[in-house]
A and B are shown apart, each in its own frame.
Chain A
């Protein structure tokens, strides 16, 4: 398993119940912070139409794509119904010393 951890941002950089875009090494990711103050990460583009999910809407553990309202559970990557039919890839996240780190698979 890849143990490379990339620093993303400070913990306060993302509001609770929100998402931000993070680009690294030619890839794009979506980093989520829940209302319970936990962090998650997925691939940054919707599997349906290559739209950046960081422009979307976070509802509890669901991210809704800003273009077609496709929904995913960002904690598991599971697609929650048409037009989102293909699951999102998830990535590990950790918080250390007030900073958020991403482990891109």
Chain B
């Protein structure tokens, strides 16, 4: 017997949008673990030092790997050089984009804003639309019909996930959006979360992005070499795989339509190198619950909250041992999801079962 698979409407202008609003899931109040105001204030303190240090190292690795790639171009030695360059350029820029977008990476506002613009370009996300998209993601995390950043809608598109490791599905879609923005237009979903006063910036920035890409492509054609594109453009494809490996751990396979980040986000312990590349976003439950806490204090925040949290995953492998089977199962059984075990001491949370 063939089982009909019901597909939910993940668009931001469809029937699930109205349903989420009717069920009180839009702009809702979320569960928050208890922490003293005094301690939270200590953890929220902003500093420039850690992010300046990390950013200098980041650009140094980018420049060194890029220079070595240039010097070894035409030999096999260029492969590891550009492998490093690509991951730093495209994957690690995701976390820089994220932290500076929240303006928590640095204490100094302009430093956040400069890094945000650079990292947005590198991760192939237009800075203004994605700031608003991410704002909505924090308002309505994994609420179907409201959250524009649900990475694995159900039933999962396995081919799409595979293609995303090299951005073969996402980058072309982003490019189409960019071109649309150049002509002064948004898509219907963007119209729901980008305010009118921000839209001229969207169109201006899209034109700047397109001009930069056009210049690099022209340069590559002029010198009959793809080398310029190895630095700008192609890294968004060949270097994005680590971003996907990190990023899928955030929410994949967890509950939809709940008002408790402990049920729809993962905290995954990672080694210091991964935590550097990911800027501590592995503490993802903590980040969603208290987005004012800068990345360099998330480990301490985790210590404060862990008694009221589900058990963290002991590494990427532990997370994927859960994510891979549940994703495969959701292909045939889209209503299935991982129910995170909350500590027995906590009171029940406002949550609703998926429709």
Count of A-B contacts judged by CB separation below 8 Å: 42
In whole angstroms, what is the CA distance A81 to B41 when docked? Answer: 22
- The dominant DSSP class at the A interface is loop
List A contacts of B103 (CB < 8 A): 69, 71
B46 pairs with A85, CB closer than 8 A: no
How far in angstroms is the closest Cβ of chain A from B115?
A: 15
Chain B nearest CB from A56 CB (Å) reads: 7
User: Does A43 make an interface contact (CB < 8 A)?
Assistant: no
Q: Which residues of B contact A66 (CB under 8 A)?
A: 290-292
CB distance from B95 to the nearest CB of A (A): 16
B6 / chain A contacts, CB cutoff of 8 Å: none
Across the interface, which residues of B come within 8 angstroms of A49, CB to CB?
27, 139
Chain B contact residues (Cβ within 8 angstroms of A): what range? 20 to 34
CA distance A64 to B131 in the complex (A): 16
Q: Is B354 engaged at the interface, CB distance under 8 Å to the other chain?
A: no
Closest CB-CB distance, A45 to chain B, in whole Å? 12
Nearest CB in chain A: distance from B206 CB, A:
16
**Interface residue A22 (Cβ < 8 Å from any Cβ of B):** no
Chain B, residue nearest A59 (CB): B46
Q: 6 tightest A-B contacts by CB? A: A57-B44, A83-B135, A69-B102, A68-B135, A57-B292, A69-B103
A: residues with CB less than 8 A from B are 18, 48-50, 56-57, 59, 64, 66-69, 71, 80-83, 85
Residues of B within 8 A of A (CB): 27, 37, 41, 44, 46, 102-104, 109, 128, 131-132, 135, 138-139, 195, 197-198, 290-292
27 contacts between A and B (CB under 8 A): A48-B135, A49-B27, A49-B139, A56-B292, A57-B44, A64-B292, A66-B290, A66-B291, A68-B135, A68-B138, A68-B139, A69-B104, A69-B291, A69-B292, A71-B103, A71-B109, A80-B109, A81-B109, A82-B128, A82-B131, A82-B132, A82-B135, A82-B198, A83-B131, A83-B132, A83-B135, A85-B195
